[in-house]
């Protein structure tokens, strides 16, 4: 029996402690309002953190009590204070009947239990109307035309004149631009034949000419070595056209490319003998030298050689000055156009306001 009584007291104490943790407070910001004015009723719910709070929701123009309408039902902010939730809900109220209204407590459900706030009062008062002297009341006045005032229009007139001057200045700039022909620096993208392809095409041509009846050894070896020199200049970057055969070989060796240097040395030596010592090369020797030249190009060619070349024209100092002048005129023209649009829009807007 003692245990049962102790258990009942324990449960009742927990229930009382939980009840003490919940608080619902109503507060109104205005005790008295004029007819049609608004008052704000703040509902503050204090409960343990994590509690399930369900407060009533009011629609617009719904009566809180007869004569008091709800204009707005704002969801409250939630704050945490010492482990408790403090939830605020604001109701915007109004009334159009003169009376003292008693607003009863608002019921809020916390963790499935109902809790009521404290009641509040709202006094609605009206304006004093002297019903004995009705002649002092006047009907609404009709719309009247305002007198024309130069002080209102003069700033707009000056702005309109500035717009006209800017239009004249812009027209003058456009005429200046039209009188001077535009300088257009067009960038050309041209197809570029890789050095090895040009050299191989030339050697294929030489191969065909070497089998004709009017074959000239000196002209043949001159064209063969010139084609090689041109390829080496474009491929390795040094001016092989102005170098001797030994200088070309030394530069190739310095560049770290020693592919077929012995065969290339023999080719240049044979070419020098033919051109300067009237040496007559054998037919198989000619074919071997041509084959060595083709093999040298195949082994040293660059597969990633660019196939396009970007050509940008250069301008003289006079053309650069002319271009700078035209750029300045274009910038000035853009600024004038922006100013014209802005001022014209402002003037039109102000005139529209004055005429309304």
What pLDDT does 251 receive? 83
Of 272, 289, 197, 190, the closest CA to residue 234 belongs to 197
Q: Long-range contacts of range 15-18, CB-CB < 8 Å, 24 or more positions apart?
A: 18/48, 18/111
Helix or strand (DSSP H, E) at 218: helix 217-236
Mean pLDDT of the chain: 79
**What does the H/E/C string look like for 295-320?**
HHHHHHCCCCCCCEEEECCCCCHHHH
Q: What is the pLDDT of residues 134-190, one digit of tens each?
A: 777 777 777 777 777 778 888 888 888 998 998 888 888 787 677 654 444 456 666
What pLDDT does 305 receive? 64
Of 263, 266, 294, 282, the closest CA to residue 217 belongs to 282
What pLDDT does 93 receive? 92
Residues 6+ apart with CB under 8 A from 185: 312, 313, 315
What pLDDT does 78 receive? 81
* 3-class state of residue 77 by DSSP: coil
What pLDDT does 101 receive? 92
CA distances from 149 to 68, 190, 301, 348 (A): 49, 70, 88, 18
With tokens 């004709």, the residue in question is 212
In sequence order, what are the beta bridge partners of 159? none
Reported as a pLDDT band with limits 50, 70 and 90, residue 2 is: low
Two structure tokens written together for 200 = 């191989």
Two structure tokens written together for 340 = 């014209």
In terms of average pLDDT, the best of 4-18, 128-142, 278-292, 307-321 is 278-292
Q: Are 194 and 303 in contact (CB under 8 A)?
A: no
Q: Higher confidence at residue 255 or residue 309?
A: 255
Q: Are 222 and 275 in contact (CB under 8 A)?
A: yes
For residues 90 and 88, what is the distance between their CA atoms, to the nearest angstrom? 7
What pLDDT does 123 receive? 93
For residues 239 and 271, what is the distance between their CA atoms, to the nearest angstrom? 19
Reported as a pLDDT band with limits 50, 70 and 90, residue 124 is: very high
DSSP 240: G
Q: What is the pLDDT of residues 287-327, one digit of tens each?
A: 888 888 888 888 888 776 666 666 665 655 665 567 677 77
Q: Higher confidence at residue 352 or residue 137?
A: 352
- Weakest-pLDDT range from 77-81, 191-195, 310-314: 310-314
pTM over 0.75: no
What pLDDT does 19 receive? 44
Pairing of strands 120-125, 32-34: parallel
Checking if the pLDDT of 80 tops 90, the result is no
Q: Are 110 and 47 in contact (CB under 8 A)?
A: yes
Count the alpha carbons within 13 Å of 196 in the hemisphere toward its beta carbon: 16
Q: What is the mean pLDDT of residues 26-37?
A: 89
Residues 6+ apart with CB under 8 A from 259: 296, 299, 300
Q: What share of the chain has pLDDT > 70, as a percent? A: 80
DSSP 255: T
Q: What is the pLDDT of residues 226-235, one digit of tens each?
A: 888 888 888 8
- Weakest-pLDDT range from 130-134, 265-269, 277-281: 130-134
What pLDDT does 190 receive? 65
For residues 251 and 243, what is the distance between their CA atoms, to the nearest angstrom? 10
């Amino acid at each position: 029996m003692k245990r049962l009584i102790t258990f009942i007291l324990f449960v009742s104490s927990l229930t009382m402690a939980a009840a003490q943790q919940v608080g619902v407070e109503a507060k109104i910001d205005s005790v008295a309002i004029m007819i049609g004015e608004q008052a704000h009723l703040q509902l503050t719910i204090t409960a343990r953190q994590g509690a399930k709070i369900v407060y009533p929701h009011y629609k617009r123009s719904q009566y809180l009590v007869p004569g008091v309408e709800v204009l707005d039902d704002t969801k409250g902010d939630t704050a945490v204070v010492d482990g408790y939730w403090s939830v605020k809900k604001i109701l915007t109220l109004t009334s159009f009947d003169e009376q003292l209204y008693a607003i009863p407590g608002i019921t809020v459900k916390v963790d499935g239990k109902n809790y009521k706030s404290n009641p509040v009062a709202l006094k609605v008062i009206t304006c004093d109307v002297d019903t004995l002297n009705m002649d002092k009341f006047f009907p609404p006045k009709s719309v009247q035309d305002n007198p024309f005032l130069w002080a209102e229009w003069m700033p707009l007139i000056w702005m309109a004149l500035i717009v006209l001057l800017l239009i004249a200045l812009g027209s003058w700039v456009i005429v200046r631009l039209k009188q001077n022909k535009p300088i257009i620096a067009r960038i050309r993208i041209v197809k570029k034949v890789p050095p090895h392809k040009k050299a191989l095409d030339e050697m294929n041509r030489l191969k065909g000419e070497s089998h004709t009846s009017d074959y000239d050894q000196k002209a043949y070896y001159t064209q063969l070595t010139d084609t090689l020199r041109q390829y080496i200049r474009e491929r390795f970057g040094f001016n092989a056209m102005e170098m001797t055969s030994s200088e070309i070989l030394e530069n190739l060796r310095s560049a770290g490319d020693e592919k077929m240097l012995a065969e290339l040395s023999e080719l240049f030596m044979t070419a020098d003998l033919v051109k300067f010592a009237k040496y007559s090369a054998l037919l198989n020797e000619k074919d071997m030298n041509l084959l060595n030249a083709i093999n040298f190009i195949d082994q040293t060619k660059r597969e990633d050689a660019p196939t396009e070349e970007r050509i940008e024209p250069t301008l003289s100092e006079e053309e650069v000055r002319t271009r700078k002048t035209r750029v300045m005129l274009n910038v000035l023209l853009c600024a004038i156009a922006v100013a014209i649009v802005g001022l014209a829009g402002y003037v039109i807007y102000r005139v529209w306001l004055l005429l309304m």
